[in-house]
Amino acid sequence: MVTPTGTAELDAITARAAAAFPIWRASDAATRTGWLRALADALDGAADELVPIADRETRLGETRLRGEVGRTTGQLRLFATVVEEASYLELTVDDADPSATPPRPELRRLLVPVGPVAVFSASNFPFAFSVCGGDTASALAAGAPVIVKAHSGHPELSRRTAEIAANALVAAGAPDGSLQLIEGREAGNALVQHPVVQAAGFTGSLSGGRALFDLANGRPDPIPFYGELGSVNPVVLTPAAVAARGEALASGLAGSFTLGVGQFCTKPGVVFVPAGAGFEASVAAAVAETSGGALLTDRITDAFPSGIDALLTDPSVDELARGSAGPDGARPIVLTTDAAAVAERPETLLEEVFGPVTLLVRYASDAELHAGLRAVPGSLTATLHSEASDDVADTLALLEARAGRVLFTGWPTGVAVTWSQQHGGPWPATTSLHTSVGATAIRRFLRPIAFQDAPERLLPLVLRDAALAGLPHRRNGVLRVPAQD
């Protein structure tokens, strides 16, 4: 049960975050990474307690949830590495040039945290995109205290995680108010409009995300709202790929769209397949061997069949195959249509449906394929399975224009947490030109400041010459990596 946070309580919470902010902002790399690692250690240590709560509230199963705890603490440790490496500070110095016209002053620039950050957690990753998930990890790494709006799908887990996290941070020496929790939709709406809050991260539905995006932008002083809102994740199979490895592709697809009961934001939701190549039969065979499971929440459980019904109302759409029903759960289903229908009615056929369903879109020519792809909205991922003999330049250009990550083997449902990950794409995949997963997610919660002709004693420590000698930085246009010398 959600316990809504009241107005007075929210004010107290934001006041604590505001008080914690200068301490986070001023924390040096060793201190801040110590806090991040203490938080990761505490979560790992509490996995035996947290995983059963998560399983009871989300029905995702112990194996998946234990893996997710590891991913979550791995994220926190990756961001500690990012802070230590220090490139994220974008340290840049231009020395004075009195002989220039006009004379050029000395400028030294770095990135600093924006201020307290609001994080709206997701239903489908109760650890990795929740209280201590990627948004929280990247905000803390940036030096920003975090206020998390708990997801109503796992309130008890959210509370206990927040408690363990807050205690771990304080025990490690971080200030009170470093990581706090609120509950309830109204409180969430108030949070994103609160003067103390300077940025927000969100993972969830298009409608919920759009409403918060509008509130954030409607403030007297708008703040950046980093939302991940929805994605159909197009896949294209060329005739040559189907001819070469149709059965493997069919079984890979069946595994990917049913993984986590089809509740990943990177689920392949629309798959362009060559007409008459026999791929449908391979998919039907593979899907017959899958089984469903319990969906995350009652709302998702209700929305799943109605989403399928909405697709089936289109005259072009047929049911191809179903898996077996899991215990009280959603049953995997594959639907088919054709590229001309998708090009004509994208608003019906290309709406994201959460759960184990995917739509095969038959195309008979590159022209049909490209017309269909032009109708696909911005997505987190796009996948192209082709052979070396294929000419895919135009197809690839259409996919690149629509996605933040383009895959050439495998399936999009895995998201590696690394330096080069990009989890974000054109609207509505995300609201910004940034990733929400991977090292560069930290840039969302930072803003630049330049110091002009500052006496050394008033410069931030990392901008003084002694510190720069040991850190990656740019001086007079030349990028230097001291560790590389």
Nearer to its own copies, 89 or 333 (CB): 89
The answer to whether residue 479 forms part of the interface with its own copies (CB under 8 A) is yes
Contact 196, 17 (CB under 8 A): yes
Q: Say how far apart CA 128 and CA 146 lie, in whole Å.
A: 15
Count residues near its own copies (CB under 8 A). Answer: 79
Note whether 481 binds its own copies by CB under 8 A: yes
370 scored as a contact of its own copies (CB under 8 A): no
Which residues neighbour 123 within 8 Å (Cβ) at sequence distance 6 or greater? 58, 151, 153, 154, 204, 263, 296, 297, 300
Report in angstroms how near the CB of residue 434 gets to its own copies at its nearest: 7
> Minimum CB separation from its own copies for residue 56, in Å?
25
Please indicate whether residue 265 is annotated as part of the active site. yes
Within its chain, how far is the Cα of 371 from the centroid? Answer: 29
When asked if residue 63 is in the footprint of its own copies (CB under 8 A), the reply is: no
Cβ 329 vs Cβ 60: under 8 Å: no
Q: Does 107 bind its own copies (CB under 8 A)?
A: yes
Restricting to residues 162-221, name those near its own copies by CB under 8 A: 213-214, 217, 221
Rule CB under 8 A: is residue 66 a binding residue for its own copies? no
The span from the CA of 349 to the CA of 345, in Å, is 6
- Give the number of C-alpha atoms closer than 13 A to the C-alpha of residue 32, restricted to the C-beta side: 29
C-alpha span between 6 and 147 (Å, rounded)? 14
Is residue 93 involved in binding its own copies (CB under 8 A)?
Answer: yes
- Which three-class secondary structure state does DSSP give residue 181? strand
- Least Å distance between CB 207 and its own copies? 13
Interface with its own copies, residue 347, by CB under 8 A = no
Smallest gap from Cβ 139 to its own copies, in A, equals 13
CA distance 258 to 3: 33
* Stretch near its own copies under the rule CB under 8 A, chosen from 104-112, 187-195, 310-318, 328-336: 104-112
Angle at Cα 55 formed by Cα 204 and Cα 156, nearest 5°?
70
Binders in 212-251 for its own copies, by CB under 8 A: 213-214, 217, 221-224
Assess 455 for contact with its own copies (CB under 8 A): yes
Interatomic CA distance for residues 354 and 153, integer angstroms = 15
Buried b (16+ CB within 10 A) or exposed e, 417-453: beeebbbbbeebbbbbebbbbbbbbbbbbbeeeebee
CA-CA distance, 101 to 17, in Å (whole number)? 46
Catalytic residue among 57, 265, 352, 368: 265
Residues 115-144 that bind its own copies (CB under 8 A): none
- For its own copies, the binding residues in 402-431 under the rule CB under 8 A are 403-410, 414, 416, 418-422, 424, 426-428, 431
456 binds its own copies (CB under 8 A): no
C-beta closer to its own copies: residue 119 or 300? 119
Q: How far is the CB of 414 from its own copies (least distance, A)?
A: 6
Point out the residues that are catalytic: 228, 265
